[in-house]
Amino acid sequence: MHNKIAPAILVIFAGLSAFAPTQRLAAQGTEEKSIVAPAASAKFSAIPNAPECFAVAVEKGDPTSGPSVLLAKFAPGCVAPFHWHTPTETVMLVSGSLELQMKDDKPFVAHHGDFVYLPAHHVHRATCAGSSPCLVFLTSEAAFDIHWVDAAGQEISLEAALKNVKPAKASPPKP
């Protein structure tokens, strides 16, 4: 009896395994295409409601309508005063020294490879410290927006936010 069951089980497994490669191939066919975007070919442009010293290159998605990955460039000394975003934001520093400060916290200077996660509506500011531009990967889980705030947390215009900012002093270049 055992001799008849073993071949039957083998036939069933063989039949099922014939479908496995087809299912894997079908799944591969529905995946997104890969993206390779050298930083040297990034096309930076200004974005509405942001300081002139800040520009972005869209790497993936559409930041005006949904999730996106951006390569952002802060000029040396560029300050993005206290603000918040509707979606969560992740930040990974590519180059430069970016001083980040969360409301009511001490500033933190991020360097190459450092990672920061900012929940939705989390008030923060950023300053590109040093004499080199700051390149930063930013990801957003939804349409990207910027809400500038005053010391009391009330929304204000970009112009009003920039009036209260003292430009960061660029550090002298290292020998």
The pTM score is: 0.74
* Per-residue pLDDT, 128: 97
Q: How many whole angstroms separate alpha carbon 33 and alpha carbon 29?
A: 10
Strand ranges across the sheet with 124-129: 108-110, 97-102, 124-129, 79-84, 147-149, 155-156
Q: How many whole angstroms separate alpha carbon 145 and alpha carbon 148?
A: 10
Tens of pLDDT, residue by residue over 86-143, are: 999 999 999 999 999 999 899 999 999 999 999 999 999 999 998 999 999 999 999 9
> Using 50, 70 and 90 to split pLDDT, how confident is the model at 2?
low
